[in-house]
Amino acid sequence: MADLGFIAGMRREIRRMCSRRMYFFGMVLVPLFIGVFFLSILDKGLPEQVPTAVVDLDHSTMSRTVTRSLKAIQVIDITRDCETYDDALAAVRDGSIFGFFVIPANFEQDALAGNAPTLEYYSNMTYFVPGTLAFKGFKTVAVATAGGVVKQTLQSLGLSSESISDLVQPVVIDQFPLNNPWMNYAIYLCPSFTICTFVLMIMLMTVFSITIEIKEGTSPQWLAAANGRMGVALVSKLLPQTLIFTAVGLFLLWLLFGYSHFPLNGSLGWMITATVLTVIASQSFATFICSVVPNPRLAFSLTALFGILSFSFTGFSFPVQSMYGALAIFSWLAPIRYWFLIYINIALDGVPLYYSRLYFAALIVFPIVACTMLWHLKKACLKPVYVP
């Protein structure tokens, strides 16, 4: 008989899902839109050609060489020649440039005379990425200019150019950015933000489909269809959704690793497993919230607040290790945190499964924890009370 209850419940749920456009919107359209949105908005990979300016107060041969090197490098784009420091600063304030490079008056003369003039550069860090790139470009040119002057001086003293370069560069630190040598921002932002939004939608849709029964007072029928068993009722309601979410999740994985060729240095099978487990963990998380507060308003609000905050405390940009301990704890409550860690380990870094074992285990804990509060949800379902 339990079997019959299960199938009847599934039928009932599929009918419900077809009767409202909201289900299709939240479960399929939004996740697909988000996947395409992030790939499309970040398609350049690295926002090079940062608009910047040069303030040449020297107007000498040497200062023009410096300006030429600034114009030659890829990361910045000298879009303006400013006459004064104040002009350049005004351009930063009105947003047309993200930084500027100042060549002081008498630069050439002082450099050759050994008076050590100072090249100054200003990067606007209110926009982190362009500010950082401008800084990087400016620094490269400043260091190269200093090196060039050393060479010129030593050459004039009669040293061979070979011994000069050894003299100027005795130690070189070669940097190897592992698995993302292009420093591609899309590789770093797309997977985490896409799946985090996906998880947010899974949670909201789960809350929606559970609390709508309470709101409309149909929850006793829902339970009755499952012969009064909360667990059967929930599985019959959520399993069809699990299948749809899994299909959407697989499509998102294909967008990331198939269509966009993001690094996948480990097994695709385990990434798929992780994604399916994350779908179930997110549904369980939402079910848990609905069980604790079986009230549409509170359940939705809590889920939305948590879902949006999880973009931050999951540590996609700012590492959890550097957060205050009390806040870092929250990151471990979010299913997306484990997906993210598995993605880093398996897809990006390609380390063996062994190192991700605990993250997989954690994802399995979510449904188990959700089961502990089902009695409370059942109570609420038997006597539905709707508070708007």
Interface positions, 215-234, toward another protein (CB under 8 A): 215
Residues 22-41 close enough to bind another protein by CB under 8 A: 22, 25-26, 30, 34, 37-38, 40-41
CB 97 within 8 A of CB 80: yes
> Pattern of binders to another protein over 291-330, x per CB under 8 A?
-----xx--xx-xxx-xxx-xxx-xxxxx--xxx--x---
Q: Which residue's structure tokens are 């899994």?
A: 246
Residue 298 carries which side chain, given as an amino acid letter? Answer: L
| Closer to another protein by Cβ: residue 131 or 220 | 131
Pick between residue 297 and residue 379 the one whose CB is nearest to another protein.
297
How does DSSP classify residue 322?
G
Q: Of the listed pieces 4-12, 19-27, 236-244, 275-283, which binds another protein according to CB under 8 A?
A: 19-27
Shortest gap between Cβ of 54 and another protein (angstroms)?
14
Count, residues near another protein per rule CB under 8 A: 122
CB within 8 Å of 251: residues ≥ 6 apart: 32, 35
Of 9, 99, 137, 266, the one binding another protein by CB under 8 A: 99
Which of 11, 68, 93, 357 touches another protein (CB under 8 A)? 93
Residue with smaller CB distance to another protein, 128 or 375: 128
In the complex, minimum distance from the CB of residue 7 to another protein, in angstroms, rounded to a whole number = 28
Nearest in space to 362 (alpha carbons), one of 327, 337, 343: 337
Which of 50, 55, 238, 342 is close enough to bind another protein by CB under 8 A? 50
How far is residue 323's CA from residue 327's CA, in Å, rounded to a whole number?
Answer: 7
Alpha-carbon distance 377 to 78, whole Å? 62
Q: Which is nearer to another protein, 86 or 231 (CB)?
A: 86
The total of other beta-carbon atoms located within 10 Å of residue 262's CB is 21
The conformational region for residue 228 under phi > 0 = left, psi -120 to 50 = alpha, else beta, is: left
> 197 or 236, CB closer to another protein?
197
Chosen residue from 56, 70, 98, 287 binding another protein by CB under 8 A: 98
Single out the residue of 125, 108, 128 nearest to residue 116, CA to CA.
108
Residues 344-363 contacting another protein, CB under 8 A: 344-345, 348-349, 351-352, 355
- Residues 115-174 binding another protein (CB under 8 A) are 115-132, 135-136, 138-139, 142-143, 145-146, 149-150, 153-154, 157, 159, 163, 165-174
Residue that has been written with the tokens 């990151």 in this structure: 331
- Least Å distance between CB 25 and another protein? 7
- Euclidean distance between CA atoms 64 and 275, whole angstroms: 55
Work out whether 191 is an interface residue with another protein (CB under 8 A).
no
Is 91 in contact with 100 (CB distance < 8 Å)? yes
For residues 363 and 68, give the distance between their C-alpha atoms in angstroms, rounded to a whole number. Answer: 55
Based on the shown chain and the rule CB under 8 A, indicate whether residue 19 belongs to the binding site for another protein. no
Distance in Å, CB of 212 to another protein, minimum: 7
Judged by CB under 8 A, the residue of 95, 231, 258, 269 near another protein is 95
Closer CB to another protein, 254 or 318, in the complex: 318
| Binding residues for another protein restricted to 56-85, rule: CB under 8 A | none
* CB nearer to another protein: pick between 254 and 386: 386
Which phi and psi (to 5°) does residue 56 adopt?
-100, 105
Q: Which of 53, 76, 201, 248 binds another protein (CB under 8 A)?
A: 201
Tally the C-alpha atoms within 13 A of residue 123's C-alpha that lie toward its C-beta: 16
Helix (H, G, I), strand (E, B) or coil at 78: strand
Greatest alpha-carbon span in the chain? 98
User: C-beta of 43: minimal distance to another protein in Å?
Assistant: 7
Q: In what order do the strands lie in the sheet with 76-82?
A: 76-82, 50-56, 99-103
Q: What span, in angstroms and rounded, lies between the C-alpha atoms of 199 and 211?
A: 18
